């Protein structure tokens, strides 16, 4: 693990040319949404250089534990940022929920009728079903929960193909390595996927809420941009972008 983050230090160019740089670790379901968010933020702050790495929340969490150079962590769940706070590796005062995700059944195969919902996965013509690995990907955990609730988890075990993260899960379906997948709605809402395939939104009552939290890491506490960025993500303009990508807005505290 130590070798991994040393390589990342090199790839990210950790030797800063100036102080106007922010290093962000973000869950893979944000990959397209972040492009729109970061475009707006850098338009407002043209002197800032954003360095973003995406991956499964569990893997990014482990890298931060090993002193990876990330200053902001945008997780796909609340648990991992909370654990960083508990381990004194993040600022407790910065912890906040920024959005709530949704999952959908998606296919590029026009012969598969997704109107049947999750039960379509039992059809013999569906040989491979892609989900993110539940061991370290919150969206994979949500997929597993929904399938278990419908008594489908055990019957489809032999068909499952596990993605390292939700972006790779989507790619399995795009490339035909899986006929169907349980993916993040935020990825399907991206302009890059417009008109590709069909999806069925999985009812929210079938899986625990996908509340997504952000936090400033211990390394980021010395960088004022980390706090400005989190403040921006809670602004009305940023929340409108989250909504465009299929996220549900967090409940306002009273």
Question: Using 50, 70 and 90 to split pLDDT, how confident is the model at 10?
Answer: low
Of 123 and 253, the one with more pLDDT: 123
Residue with tokens 């400005």: 228
Entry pTM: 0.88
Whether 238 and 74 have beta carbons less than 8 Å apart is answered as no
Burial of 15 (0-12, 13-18, 19+ CB in 10 A): exposed
- What is the Cα 77 distance to its own chain's centre? 9
Each residue's pLDDT tens digit, 48-94: 999 999 999 999 999 999 999 999 999 999 999 999 999 999 999 99
Average pLDDT value for residue range 89-117: 96
Q: Give pLDDT, residue 194.
A: 81
pLDDT digit string, tens, across residues 81-93: 999 999 999 999 9
Whether 102-206 and 2-100+209-244 are alike in CATH topology: the answer is: yes
Per-residue confidence at 17, pLDDT binned at 50, 70, 90? very low
Phi and psi at residue 135, to the nearest 5°: -65, -30
- Please write the tens of the pLDDT for every residue from 124-141: 999 999 999 999 899 999
Tens digit of pLDDT for each residue in 222-245? Answer: 999 999 999 999 999 999 999 999
Instruction: Please report the DSSP string for the chain in residue order.
Output: -HHHHHHHHHHHT-S-SSS-EEEEEEEGGGHHHHHHHHHHHHHH-TT-EEEEEEE-HHHHHHHHHTT-S-SEEE-SSSHHHHHHHHTTSB-GGG-EEEEEE-EEEEES-TTS-GGGGGGGGGSTT---EEEE-TTT-HHHHHHHHHHHHTT-TTTTGGGEEEESSHHHHHHHHHTTSSSEEEEEHHHHTSGGGTTSSEEEEPPGGGS--EEEEEEEBTGGGG-HHHHHHHHHHTSHHHHHHHHHTTPBPPPPP-
**Residue 195 has what pLDDT?**
81
Q: Where in the chain are the domains?
A: 2-100+209-244, 102-206
Distance from C-alpha of 94 to C-alpha of 82, rounded to nearest angstrom: 11
Q: Which residues pair with 101 in a beta bridge?
A: 210
What is the rounded average pLDDT of the residues 178-199?
94
Residue 23 bridge partners (DSSP): 51
Q: What is the rounded CA–CA span in Å between residue 199 and residue 188?
A: 8
Q: Which fold has domain 102-206?
A: D-Maltodextrin-Binding Protein; domain 2 (3.40.190)
Q: Under a CB-based contact definition with an 8 Å cutoff, are residues 75 and 214 in contact?
A: yes
Q: What does pLDDT average to over the chain?
A: 92
- The confidence score (pLDDT) of residue 253 equals 47
| Contact partners, residue 239, CB within 8 Å, separation at least 6 | 99, 249
Domain topology for 2-100+209-244: D-Maltodextrin-Binding Protein; domain 2 (3.40.190)
């Amino acid at each position: 693990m130590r070798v991994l983050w040393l390589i990342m230090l090199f790839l990210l160019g950790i030797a800063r040319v100036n102080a106007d740089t922010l290093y962000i670790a973000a869950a893979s379901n944000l990959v397209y949404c972040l492009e729109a968010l970061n475009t707006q933020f850098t338009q407002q702050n043209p002197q800032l250089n954003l360095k973003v790495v995406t991956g499964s929340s569990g893997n990014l969490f482990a890298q931060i534990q090993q002193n990876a150079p990330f200053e902001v962590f945008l997780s796909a769940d609340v648990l991992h940022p909370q654990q960083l706070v508990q381990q004194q590796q993040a600022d407790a005062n910065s912890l906040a929920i920024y959005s709530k995700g949704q999952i959908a059944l998606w296919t590029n195969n026009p012969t598969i009728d997704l109107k049947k919902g999750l039960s379509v996965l039992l059809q013999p013509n569906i040989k491979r079903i892609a989900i993110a690995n539940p061991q370290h990907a919150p969206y994979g955990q949500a997929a597993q929960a929904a399938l278990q609730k419908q008594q489908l988890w055990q019957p489809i075990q032999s068909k499952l193909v596990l993605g390292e993260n939700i972006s790779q899960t989507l790619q399995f379906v795009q490339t035909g390595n899986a006929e169907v997948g349980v993916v993040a709605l935020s990825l399907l809402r991206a302009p890059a996927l417009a008109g590709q395939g069909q999806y069925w939104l999985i009812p929210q009552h079938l899986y625990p809420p996908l509340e997504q939290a952000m936090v400033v890491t211990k390394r980021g506490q010395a960088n004022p941009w980390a706090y400005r960025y989190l403040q921006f993500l809670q602004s009305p303009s940023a929340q409108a972008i989250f909504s465009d990508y299929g996220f549900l807005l967090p409940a306002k505290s009273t």
